[in-house]
Structures are given as structure tokens and as C-alpha cells.
A and B are shown apart, each in its own frame.
Chain A
Amino acid sequence: MNKIYLVLKREFLSRVQKKTFLLVTIGLPVLIFAIYAAIFYFSVNSTSKTKILVVDNAGLFKDTIANAKDVVFEFTKGVSKPDLERKAKNKDIDGYVVVPAGATLDDKIDLITGSKIGIMTRQTITSAIQSRLEKLKMDALPVSKDLLKKAKTENTIDIVNVNDKNDSGAKAGVSYAVGIFCGILIYMILLLYGTSVMRGVMEEKVSRIAEIVVSSIKPFQLMMGKILGIGAVGLLQFLIWIVLGVGLKLLLIPILFPEATHMMAAGGVASTGSGAEMASVMQALSTINFPLIITMFFVYFLGGYFIYASLFAAIGCSVSDGQQDAQGLQLPITLPIIIGFVIMMQAVNNPTSGLAVFGSLFPLTSPIVMMARVTQGVPDAVSWWELALSIVLLFGSFIFTTWFAGKVYRTGILMYGKKPTWKELIKWAFRKN
């Protein structure tokens, strides 16, 4: 145990003391945050408005089409066609519509564009024109405006779950988001830290330090020390992120909040008052069972990490010429992670489907898939027995893969020469000694 600790300590310190550690740990989330902020900023403050000139010779639109997002309609009369074409070519306008004198509401409308217009903008333009025409047609009907208005009012539909009195749309949305977030996080952890273990083992083997170390300690101790050490680095990174996250939330939310509300309004999303919507999101967040989710996160983080780290260690120790050799062997291990990710995306939408249940029980995919289900509530989305069974299977497999990797490690770490196949790896594991 003491020996494992020594290896763990070396592994941990040699990673944490690197200059790049803090840079990556703090820089990466900042970078991601900055990229998102930039995308958000540019999409909201986009200055490029699509300008459509409507030459309404018939007075059909009565000089109004409600300006939609990023699209501006301007009205004029009697401009000649060559003039319009010249304007379109010079990019004074992005496109024009000519309504000939004597046109009716049922006529076809041609939109001539000067430059390529994206599919989203096309839809915006069409629906803006469409709804204006619809309104005009309705006005022409012999029905009173009040009656029309009454027919168009939307009924409120509340979805209430038997187990959960507060299963509002906002809550479903929030738990959906938290589910995807946790799933993606675990997915990234498994891939990043798993391959990190693999590279570490490979480095030890390729630099030929392995034999010196295993003449002092058992190969299994070396492997466990490495896995635990890198796991500890991962935990430290999480700790830093949590502290950073909480700090940022306390510091930045009050500053960002008014702006965020403003942005939502500008985006035309919140027509009924963004404050109320924000409050309902906040309220939904507070109803999510965070202690359970955080506990489960760590359970699946650890279980999944140990399973994959030991499998990656088994690969790392069996190849001798670095990265290229490893790639072929890696596929059967990265595949379940990716499949888990795919099932997770499906499971957030439909947490009780057969696929989701299977994915959350099968130990190679359960760390990713179960996180997406658990966030939607226990026992609504996941029954307690499913959760228990999944955890039992997870830890059972963790014991199995560590045993397997330990056996492969024993043989592999001192083997040079040709790259083994998976069949040979399995043979090594079941051979005595």
C-alpha cells in the first residue's frame, strides 16, 4: 500500500508541478467560456441586416410588414426593374419584391435576391410575408376582429407527473441541460484521463524504466499507483473548476444578469417578460436534487474512470512503439465510450426507453448514460433498483477490468517486439503467473 502511495505521489506531483497544468486547468474553461461568449455576442449584436425592398405598386401590403429578426422591409413604388437590379448588384439592398399594379392577395410573390441568402433568413422572410398576407386576408373576411382574436388564443397546457408535482416545462428543460452536461463531462473524463493513463504507461515502457521499477514493486502496484495518481489529478482539476465556477457565479452573475435579460429580449425569445422566465428556470434549478446528482456523478466518475483507465493501461503496456501501435488496439475501448455518448443523447429525450435502460445498466456505457437519466429524477426517470443494479454492475466490472489489466500488465510491461492482438492480451490474462 505504501508503495502504491509512492507511485501515486510521483504521478500526481509530476503532473501537477508542470507549468502547463495550471495553464490548462484554468485556461481551458476560460477559453471555452470566451468562445461561447464571443459567439453569443456576435450573434446578438450582428450588424448585418438583410434589407428587402418591396416595390408595392398595388399597395397590397399597406406599407407594413413586421420587421423580423435581422430582416428589414422597405416600401416604395414605381421603381424600374433595371434600377432595382443595379441596386441589388451594388448590394444597396439584398433583394426585392415587385408587386405589380392590380395584384391580389392570392398571387404568387417573387423574391429576387442580389446575394445568396441563408436558409434561416429565407425562412424568416417568407414567414414574415406570409403572416402579413394572412392578416390582410383575415381582415378582409366578414368576421369581427374580436371573434378572430378569441379563436386564436392559446390554451395553457400543464404537464404534471404523478410522482412529481412540479414537473414543469422549465424543470424538464433544466434537467435536460444538466443531464447532457453531466453526460458530456463524464464522456470527456473517460477519454481524456483514460488516454492519459495509456500514454503514461507507454512512456514508462518505451523509456525502459518499467523493469527498474518492477524490480522494486509488483507490476500491479505500479499500475494502480498510476491510475490512482492520474485520478487524483482529475479530482484536483474538478475541485479547481468547482471553486472557479462558484467564484465566477458569485462575482459575475450580478454583473451579467441585466445584460443577459436584455439579450434575450433582443433575441425576440421572451415576449412575455424575461424576468418571469428566468425566475422559473431558477426555481426549476432549485428543485433538482443536486446532492443526489453530485454523489452519483462521483460514483460514476470513479467507477467509469477505473474501468476505462485499467483497460487503457492494459493497452499502454502491451504496445512498444508508441502511439501508432496503440491506435489499433484502442478502438474496441473508445467505441463503447462513443456509443455511450450516442445513447446518452437519446436517453435525455426519452429516459425510460429500452435503449436508455440498457445503456445505463451496461457498465461500459452506464457512466455516461446513467448521468443523463439520473438528472431527470429518481424514481421518475430511473427506478431505484435500476440505479442500484447499475452501480453493482459498474463496480463488479471495475474489479474485473483491474484484475484483467493487472494480469496483462505483468506480461506486457516487459515485452518488446511485435504488437500483440486482443486475443493474445486475453490469453495473457488467463495464463497462470
Chain B
Amino acid sequence: MAILELSHLKKYYATQKAVDDVSFQIEPGQIFGLLGPNGAGKTTLLRMITGIFYPDEGSILFDGKKFDPENDIQKIGYMPEERGLYKKMKIGDQAMFLARLKGLSQSEARQKIKYWFERLEMQSWWDKKVEDLSKGMSQKLQFVITVLHEPKLIILDEPFSGLDPVNANLIKDQIFELARRGSTVIFSTHRMEQVEEICDQIALINLGKKVLDGKVADIRQQYKEHLYELKIDQPANQFAACDIFQPVNQTDNKMIVRINDPYTGNDLLRYFLDKNIQVFHFGEILPSLNEIFIRLVHGTNAVTRSFHNI
């Protein structure tokens, strides 16, 4: 059973359709990537899932039941893109306050915070103030606050922005660990390389509409352009287009070719083997999500949309 099921979700503002008929579902334990250019409607969609906004139309099923923001919100951890903390408040008190807002009791909250602070090596921070933390440090603290009540659904909006590679990896490992222990993670971003690395499944949103969704591997297969990369023992520019393939790019002894229908990789390989040419390297090039993303979004007026004039 899906942990979250959106069907025909709509949210219209006076001047634009922020979310326009979006449906998808997320299985428990998955890491789900919600992708889209700036202003695609991701944040609005997430705010509906977190109960901050009510959808104009459509329904949200959470854990098989109709989403009830009042109670279900306790089972969700949301780290918004625009995030901050009380600057003058001590970090321990701050974490306590936010944990208790999520419904944890005093002792539960204290115990969980201690656990997470130890895990991310933040024990010494308890009495510090947020204004004394660097951006990366406060990001870590925000992550802890988001996950410490052990939510079933964790929603992270651009969780790595502003993090150095070491801390980004630390957080990434925690995300994997949480998913392994059964939490579902929605991961919203426009940074594709992270998605490929982390997510099992994605949905791409543009101009408020869902453009595609599915497993990352399936999508890359679906959008492949039959490109192969070859490395041989001879200059590559001696091969011109033929029945089987057309060269796309030739430099030194490397070439990228597109295979014509209905030939396959084996036919290409056989072509060179028959000519008794040494093949050092042979491989299919699948499009990166980034390329698919740009191809799908390119040409729409995605960039010009802004969210400010509600």
C-alpha cells in the first residue's frame, strides 16, 4: 500500500495554476525525487502534502486514509527550502521546542535529541546559540529537527544547498539509513546529479503539471537515444556513416555513434570485429536525468514563472 497517494491535486492562485492536476503515489521505504525547475510548483505541492495549504481540488491519501493535517502532521517531517531558526535561542532549547511541537513529550524529546546530536557529533552544541553556528552547521541542526520525531514521511526541500561535500555525504548517509529503517523520503531538488545518486523513483513537475514519473533506471532507458561510445586502436575519423550507425562525435581513437533502427549494439560490435579492429571500450550512453530534464523543460517558459504574486 502506498504511503502517499496524490490524485488530481490542484492549487490555483489568482494569476496562475501553481499545481495543475498532479497525481502520483509513493511506496513506503522509497526515496522519491520531486524534480522541477524553479517555480514549477514543487513548494506548493509540498506545502499541500504537509497540510500548510489546502488543495483546491483533488485528494491526498496518507497511509491509506484521507490526509488529516491535524493529526497526520505528527508523522511527517518537513524541511522547507526557506528555513531558519530562532537566532537568539540556545540550540538544545530550540530542538526541544520544535520536537515538542511535533507532539513528543519532554523526556522523549530530550532522549531523541541526545541520540541524534551524538550521531552527528553535535553534543557540544547544546548551549550554543544559532547565531554562532555556520550555515552548514545550522543545516545539520535543521536536518536533525526534521527527522528526530521518527516521521513515517520525511520531506526534504533542497537539503544539500550550502553544505560542503563532507557534510553533504554525512546527511546523505543518514537519508539512506532512514529509508533502510522504513521511512519514506521525498526529496525535492533541481540538482539532477544528486537525484540519480539517491532516488529510486522520481516525478518531474513543470509549470504545475507532472511531466513524467517512474523509476530512475526506467526513465533513462525510455529516453535513450541509442548512443554508444567506442574506443578503438585506430583513428576514429576514418569511419563515415553507414547502414548500421552514424558517427556523432569522433576524436582521436574515440567515437560516439548513433545506431540506426533496427540494429543493436551487437551489430555495431560485430561490424568492428569483422574489420579486425581492436575494441578497447564499448558501452551504451544513457541520457542523464539532467539531459532529460533540460530536454523536457526546454522551450517552456519555466524560468519566467515566479511565485511571488499570489
Chain A positions within 8 Å of B, measured between CB atoms, are 3, 6-7, 10, 14, 203-204, 207-209, 211-217, 411, 414-418, 433
- Taking A214-B52, A433-B54 as known contacts, 7 extra A-B pairs with beta carbons closer than 8 A to each other, sorted by chain A number, are A207-B84, A207-B86, A209-B85, A212-B83, A212-B84, A215-B80, A433-B53
Residues of A within 8 A of B78 (CB): 212, 215
Question: Digit string of B77-93 for contact with A (CB within 8 Å is 1, else 0)?
Answer: 01110111111110000
Residues of A within 8 A of B83 (CB): 208-209, 211-212
User: Do A208 and B84 touch (CB < 8 A)?
Assistant: yes
Known A209-B84, A416-B308, A418-B308; judge A216-B54 contact (CB<8 A). Answer: no
User: For residue A5, which residue of chain B has the nearest CB?
Assistant: B100
Residues of A within 8 A of B142 (CB): 212
Q: Which of A7, A214, A411 contacts B310 (CB 8 A)?
A: A411
Residues of B within 8 A of A6 (CB): 97, 100-101
User: For residue B78, which residue of chain A has the nearest CB?
Assistant: A215
User: For residue B155, which residue of chain A has the nearest CB?
Assistant: A215
Cβ of B18 within 8 Å of any chain A Cβ, yes or no, is no
User: Do A14 and B88 touch (CB < 8 A)?
Assistant: yes
Residues of A within 8 A of B145 (CB): 212
**Cα distance A207–B88 when bound, in Å?**
11
User: For residue A420, which residue of chain B has the nearest CB?
Assistant: B310
Cβ of B137 within 8 Å of any chain A Cβ, yes or no, is no
Q: How far is the CB of A417 from chain B (nearest CB, A)?
A: 3
**Cα distance A334–B229 when bound, in Å?**
72
User: Do B53 and A208 touch (CB < 8 A)?
Assistant: no
Q: Which of A7, A10, A207, A416 contacts B85 (CB 8 A)?
A: A207
Residues of A within 8 A of B52 (CB): 211, 214-215, 414
User: Do A3 and B89 touch (CB < 8 A)?
Assistant: no
Cβ of B179 within 8 Å of any chain A Cβ, yes or no, is no
Tell me which of A209, A414, A416 has the highest count of chain B C-beta atoms within 10 A of its own C-beta: A209
Cβ of B302 within 8 Å of any chain A Cβ, yes or no, is no
Q: How far is the CB of A181 from chain B (nearest CB, A)?
A: 34
Residues of A within 8 A of B73 (CB): 215-216
Residues of B within 8 A of A215 (CB): 50-52, 73, 76, 78, 80
Q: How far is the CB of B106 from chain A (nearest CB, A)?
A: 11
**Cα distance A420–B78 when bound, in Å?**
27
Q: How far is the CB of A428 from chain B (nearest CB, A)?
A: 9
Residues of A within 8 A of B10 (CB): none
Residues of A within 8 A of B310 (CB): 411, 415
**Cα distance A215–B87 when bound, in Å?**
19
Residues of B within 8 A of A212 (CB): 78-80, 83-85, 98, 142, 145
Cβ of B17 within 8 Å of any chain A Cβ, yes or no, is no
**Cα distance A6–B53 when bound, in Å?**
23
User: Do A211 and B86 touch (CB < 8 A)?
Assistant: no
Interface residues of B in 227-254 (CB under 8 A from A): none
Residues of B within 8 A of A204 (CB): 86
Q: How far is the CB of B231 from chain A (nearest CB, A)?
A: 50
User: Do A216 and B101 touch (CB < 8 A)?
Assistant: yes
User: Do A207 and B87 touch (CB < 8 A)?
Assistant: yes
